[in-house]
Structure 1
Amino acid sequence: MASVTCIVFLLMSVTMLATLPLADGRDKKTDDDLESPQLSDFVREVSDDEPEAARRPKLSPLRLGQCSASDYEPDYDDENAEDFYDNIDASNFFDDDQDAGKSLDDNAQFADPRCADGHVKQGKASGGHCFSNDKSYAVHATMTPYSIARTNNLTASKLAPEGCKPVQLWHLIRHGSRSMHRMDFMKMETQLPMLQKMILAAHSVGNGELCSHDLALIRVWNIKDMRMGKAGTLTPEGKAEVKGIANRFKAVLPNLVYKGYSISKPPSENARQQPGEGTKVAFAPSRQTYESSVAYLEALYGRRWGHFGLPVKGSKSLQYFHYCKNYVNKVMSRNKKHKPFHTFSKGKFIQEVMDSVSKRTGVNITLTKLRTMYNACRYQASWNPQRLSPWCTVFTPGDLEILEYWEDLRMYHDHGYQHSITYKQACILGKDVIRHFRKRIDRGNNATDSTAYFVNVEAFVPFLALFGLFKDTEALTSEAINKNRLWRTSKFAGYGSNFGLLLSSCTGESTNYWVTAIHNEEKIKLPGCDTSLGCPWDKFLNEYDFLEDCHFFRLCIRFTRRMCRPHNWHLTYIMNNWM
């Protein structure tokens, strides 16, 4: 019986083997042999954000006989983001670079492994704007690199009136360019590779209007390009931004920003008794502000910056917006329907951008995809301003101008002039200015020559508004775009942006002290002052006397222990509002 069973089993095995293909590997399905996407994958409307998605331009049908995209993945948003302050290495989120060594050859083509002849039909490359040949629009709101926002180098001339000598500097500095939040990377990881394949496939069958240069950049892009270390880590460009600021202020104000010290010299021959004495440096509780303060000290003291005695923990006062209950409840937690930023995203301007990008890429673009591509564009542009980001090529200069206004609108209403509590809470920093200057003027205390505080944009922008800077006569709205507006964050609140108040001692009879405002290394006229050179101390104090009357917790109401940790609400805000 056993022998009969063996014979039957052998016969069945031979029959099965006979049905298998020849062992040349052609019919074997591997990871690289992916199914061709269906027509509906490219022409269907995905209206996960906008009810008006049906109004988007329809793309011409794909001919599935041509070489097309592969590995279509569903589009979704992963909102399970973590607190970007946590010290967790996100390196496990990244795969190996599969595109290392790819050429940027303009004639390189999208090679589908299933195409025997290797021929790919070109898209309408000559019909649209070629971003690679026109890089005129390089500003991206609050993520604009400092090298683009800064127009002139700081010079010692005309920082104070004749007969006046600078004696003290109070300096507020936004951190330099940083790596992205983990939640941003999670969205890019799930969306950008799929969009890359869809764009290449659309152009292979005649859809889309990207030129060959722009298409080549998208072709060689890899998700690993978005990896710049842990969340909030300062990029090489960010370190260069901060070090450049330190070196230029050191050169212009050598006796304030930097006091020479040599260990080999006796104390009597040193300007100070220890390194860094006379200079105060503090940072807000975040990785990017801490690393910015370290870069600042490295530029001043080199390898001996550790002798300076930088605080171990960040200052809560520099993160004041986390602890203002009235601000959180009345502004940040406000319903989306009442925020012009969200109204604008549903309006005609953003719809025009989505239509434009859909036409250029050959792929129907939703608001979620638009936001993800714009973030990828400006992150890479801030990391390396000299190198064109592949994801910037999907936009025209007109598109980028609208997207810039989109974030300017958010900053205006959530961090600017729309609600008085927003800028009034920044009085905690204004009071610090008056206190430091009064010590020298009223008490003759010369212990502090310079103060450098490193903050996030949410603390930097309200402080500028507190002084009435960059204020338009009419509020920003979602109905129209004012191209001549003063409130343009790409000019005053990008990475590395800084605002300083310089106190000078004068020998003239009219005034004993003079205050000059410096923004991004240029003098700026303060409201109430006659010129950009500044004001006499008495006039400055009369104009901004409200700073001394700052009662932060009376204005904001204290958080209680029963409330959640303050940065939890901020994380929720970022998840729902982040550009």
Structure 2
Amino acid sequence: MPIILWKLVFILLTTTVIGIFSCCYSNVIPEGDPNIPAIAKYFCTKGRYEEVNPYLIQDILAVNRSILKPPSARCRQIHLTAIIRHGTRYPTAKNVQKMQKLYELVRSSATAKHSWLQEIQTQWKMWYTEEMDGRLVQKGVDDHKHLAIRLSKLFPSMISEEKLRGRLIKFITSSKHRCINSTLSFQAGLTELWNIKDMEFDHAVNDALMRFFDQCDRFVQEVEKNPSALTEVDKFKQGPEMKRVQQKIADRLGVPYDLITDDMAEAAFYMCAYEFAIKTVNSPWCHLFDEVDAQVMEYAIDLKQFWKRGYGHDINSKSSCILFHDAFSRLDQAVAESKSDQPVTEAVTVQVGHAETLLPLLTLLGFFKDNNTLMSTNYASQTQRSFRTSCMLPYAANLLLVLYDCGRDGLRLQPLLNEKPVAFPGLNDQQASMPLYQDVREHYKHLLRGCDFETECRLFTNPTDA
């Protein structure tokens, strides 16, 4: 085939890929805003919440209550469980080390004559330190303050001053600083909203619930500490798509190809992502990637999340059994109290954890499961995948389970992800986004009867123990 024709085919394929990748967003991100990197929608778990809900860029406190759509006017909310990821944070010490190496390489060896590169070499200073190590930034404080206010507007009968003062809103958090500070920020959003100065509100630290993955021995042994568990990730990093990205970065910097490793490419991608998430700056580091490159980087990160926290290994999701049962026990209690005409004693539960808390639970519930497994060799066929952490798990990502008493229409449960209604996978109902609670329990009965954390996470010492 002539070279010109090959180039035309490449352009057409590239254009198609970009169009498909953008289609998971229900709202259009503002075009041409010089403060927003063109690749911002591919930042995976390092992405801003605003890229998932772009209407918040114009009004950070905007809500649309019409999306809830209960089946009748008789429906009233009786319980809300909110499982929330911490807000925007600094990079971890491990990522800071990688970024420092990249910065030193660019300062010492880059020879290309780009204005943005000269800006990095002469003006940009390495301000990240290992001591930051994943701590919450001011943007992360604002993430949770604003989320608290929006949820109080979305569910005014549940997240109310009366219920907060009555201590009917319970707060549970991971022990990590970023989660504790996110919890305090969520509380501050409410107390400042209602000008509450005469009371203080506590929180419970519970790593068994919010960091279950650390306490699941089988997950730690078979996945976390097992290099072969991420074989597909390693293969993709050595594959043609990633090699091409590395070569393009080297070309843009004017350095030999062998100086840009997959770690360097990841560090450059994160440098752009962190600058934007933390400072809302379209950093000169972002010039190292075009949109095609960003899609490859996003897939590499999604591949890791898939095999380490998602559908890649069964124990990934089963490690969240304890959180699954905790959520349904709260719902069951609210149902029992409502049926006996008693006041619901725990109106709202706010649980703050990590991306690693949410993803296994979403996987256990069956969300974002594609027909084909994500592999190192099927990047081109996965452009329409639903498993995209850029859409699922930005900073302050949240899964909401809202229980309604609808009188003659029964008790119903509505799941929302990042403030948008979603349907329980595989559950067919006329009210798909708000099915009968008993139908939800029937759908997940295999997990409610089984899925025991201690059993699933027990290490087998020899094959006969299995």
Q: Does 1:375 align with 2:245?
A: no
Match of residue 220 from structure 1: 123
Name the structure 1 match of 2:171. 281
Cα 1:412–1:306 change in 2 (3 A) is: farther
Residues 117 and 253, structure 2, Cα contact 8 Å, conserved in 1: no
Counterpart mapping for 1:52-67 below 5 A? none
Structure 1: gaps spanning 5 or more residues: 1-129, 205-209, 261-270, 561-579
- What corresponds to 1:513 in structure 2? 411
Match of 1:184 among 77, 95, 116: 95
**Offset from partner CA, 1:188-235 (integer Å, 9 cap, x none):** 334413313422xx135xxxxx4x3464355311012x3597322211
| 2:203 is aligned with 1:203 | no
Aligned residue for 1:145?
48
In structure 2, what is the equivalent of residue 543 of structure 1?
443
Q: Indicate the residue corresponding to 1:90 in structure 2.
A: none
Cα distance, 1:546 vs structure 2: 3.1
After superposition, the C-alpha distances for 1:302-357 in whole angstroms (9 at most, x for unaligned) are 3749711223x443221101111111122222224852111111111110001111
Q: Distance in 2 between matches of 1:230 and 1:376?
A: 15
SS of 1:370's equivalent in the other structure is helix
Superposed, 1:96-135 pairs within 5 Å as 135=37
State the partner residue of 1:231: 133
Partners of 2:345 and 2:299 in 1: how far apart? 44
Q: Does 1:254 align with 2:144?
A: no
Distance 1:195 1:438 in 2: 57
Q: Structure 2 vs 1, CA of residues 503 and 133 (structure 1 numbering), >3 Å: closer, same or farther?
A: closer
Counterpart code for 2:410: N
Q: 2:290: which partner in 1?
A: 396
Structure with more helix by fraction: 2
Given that residues 90 and 132 in structure 2 are in contact (C-alpha distance below 8 angstroms), is that contact kept between their aligned partners in structure 1?
yes
Partner deviation per Cα, 1:28-70 (whole Å, 9 max, x = no partner): xxxxxxxxxxxxxxxxxxxxxxxxxxxxxxxxxxxxxxxxxxx
Distance 1:233 1:338, change over 3 A: closer
Q: Match for residue 200 of structure 2?
A: 307
Which AA in structure 1 matches 2:171?
Answer: V
Task: Give 2:66's aligned residue.
Answer: 157
- In structure 2, how many angstroms separate the alpha carbons of the residues matched to 1:218 and 1:340? 36
Contact 1:286 1:314 in 2 (8 A): no
Match of 2:313 in 1: 419
Q: Using the alignment, how far apart are the partners of 2:383 and 2:269 within structure 1?
A: 20
The farther-off stretch of 471-480 and 190-199 is 190-199
CA distance in 1, matches of 2:206, 2:328: 22
SS in 2 for 1:393: helix
1:526 to 1:488, Cα distance in 2 relative to 1, 3 A: same
User: Which amino acid letter does the alignment assign opposite residue 307 of structure 1?
Assistant: E
- Give me the whole-angstrom Cα distance separating, in 2, the residues matched to 1:214 and 1:360: 9
Sort the Cα spacing of 1:382 and 1:343 in 2 relative to 1 into closer, same or farther, 3 A. same
2:7 corresponds to: none
Indicate the SS of the match to 1:172.
strand
Task: Tell me which amino acid in the other structure corresponds to 2:112.
Answer: H
**1:378 CA displacement:** 1.7
Q: Retained in 2: the 8 A contact 1:297–1:305?
A: no
Residue of 340, 345, 361 corresponding to 2:232:
340
Please, which runs of 5 or more residues in structure 2 have no aligned partner? 1-31, 56-61, 462-466
Which residue of structure 2 aligns with residue 323 of structure 1?
A: 215
Q: CA deviation at 1:463?
A: 0.6
Which one of 284, 290, 293 corresponds to residue 183 of structure 2? 293
In 1: Cα distance, 2:121 partner to 2:359 partner = 34
Classify the secondary structure of the residue corresponding to 1:486.
coil
Q: Does 1:358 align with 2:232?
A: no
Closer, same or farther in 2 for the Cα pair 1:291/1:559, shift >3 Å? farther
Secondary structure at the counterpart of residue 441 of structure 1: helix
Shift of 1:367: 2.6
CA deviation digits over 1:108-148, x for unaligned, max 9? xxxxxxxxxxxxxxxxxxxxxx9979932213111111111
1:453-472 residue pairs with structure 2 within 5 A?
453-472=351-370
Identity among equivalent pairs (%): 23
Aligned-partner SS, 1:254:
coil
Greater C-alpha Rg? 1
Q: With structure 2 as the length reference, what TM-score do the two structures score?
A: 0.81
Q: CA deviation at 1:165?
A: 1.3
**Kept after mapping to 2: 8 A contact 1:278/1:449:** yes
Indicate if the aligned counterparts of 1:434 and 1:547 stay in contact, CA closer than 8 A.
Answer: no
| Relative contact order higher in (CA < 8 Å, ≥ 6 apart) | 2
Match of 2:454? 553
* Alpha-carbon distance between aligned partners in 2 of 1:353 and 1:370, rounded to the nearest angstrom: 8
3-state secondary structure, aligned to 1:192: helix
Q: Please identify, of 482-491 and 189-198, the stretch whose mean Cα deviation from structure 2 is larger.
A: 189-198
- CA distance change for structure 1 residues 191 and 170 in 2, over 3 Å: closer, same or farther? same
Aligned equivalents of 2:366 and 2:396: distance in 1?
21
Alpha-carbon distance in 2 for matches of 1:465, 1:154: 27
SS state at 2:103 partner: helix
Distance in 2, Cα, partners of 1:332 & 1:297: 33
CA distance in 1, matches of 2:239, 2:93: 29
Matches within 5 A, 1:60-99: none
Aligned to 1:174: 85
Q: What secondary structure does 1:470 align onto?
A: coil
Cα 1:185–1:426 shift into 2, 3 Å: same
- Structure 2 vs 1, CA of residues 360 and 310 (structure 1 numbering), >3 Å: closer, same or farther? same
Counterparts of 1:544 and 1:304 in 2: how far apart (Å)?
43
Equivalent-residue separation in structure 2 for 1:300 and 1:134 (angstroms): 29
